Amino acid sequence: MPIRIDEKNLKKGVLGLVVALVEIITDLLEKQAIRRIENESLSDEEIERLGEALADLSEALEVIKNDNNIEDTVESIRRGLDEVVDDVVDKLINPVRWAKEVERHERSQAGEIPLFNS
């Protein structure tokens, strides 16, 4: 489950990573905003300001992605991060399977000869 970053263009890869992270944070902010709206803990004015701010941020991210041609990079990074999170959640839900994977990994490395003394 590697996260693919364009190795030929590190700037593009790093920018893609930053945009992907900002998109994820924006998604979380939107979910929190919806919760607060449903709980009626925001005034109409606050809801409007929040909606405008989130829309502006979303639009700015799209402009950055388009201007820098990083749509595919951002999508790849988000997919990779989703896979990492899914794997961590799965290990938390299935600790027995995780322990078996660790044991299998340790057995596969038992026959390896270290290159350097540690």
Read off the pLDDT of residues 53-73 as tens digits, 9 standing for 90 and up.
Answer: 999 999 999 999 999 999 999
Q: Does residue 116 fall inside a structural domain?
A: no
The answer, yes or no, to whether residue 1 has pLDDT greater than 70, is no
Q: Does residue 5 fall inside a structural domain?
A: no
The answer, yes or no, to whether residue 27 has pLDDT greater than 80, is yes
pLDDT, position 12: 86
Q: Does residue 92 fall inside a structural domain?
A: no
Question: What percentage of the chain carries pLDDT values higher than 90?
Answer: 54
Q: How many domains does the chain have?
A: 1
The answer, yes or no, to whether residue 26 has pLDDT greater than 90, is yes
Q: Does residue 95 fall inside a structural domain?
A: no
Q: What is the mean pLDDT of residues 37-57?
A: 93
**C-alpha distances in angstroms, 82 versus 19, 21, 24, 75, 86?**
15, 12, 10, 10, 6
| Residue with more model confidence, 99 or 59 | 59
pLDDT tier at 87, thresholds 50, 70, 90:
confident
pLDDT, position 71: 94
Cα–Cα distance for residue pair 30/43, rounded to 1 Å? 16
Q: Does residue 60 fall inside a structural domain?
A: yes
pLDDT, position 117: 47
- Integer-rounded Cα radius of gyration of the chain: 21
Q: Does residue 94 fall inside a structural domain?
A: no
Domain that holds residue 18: 10-78
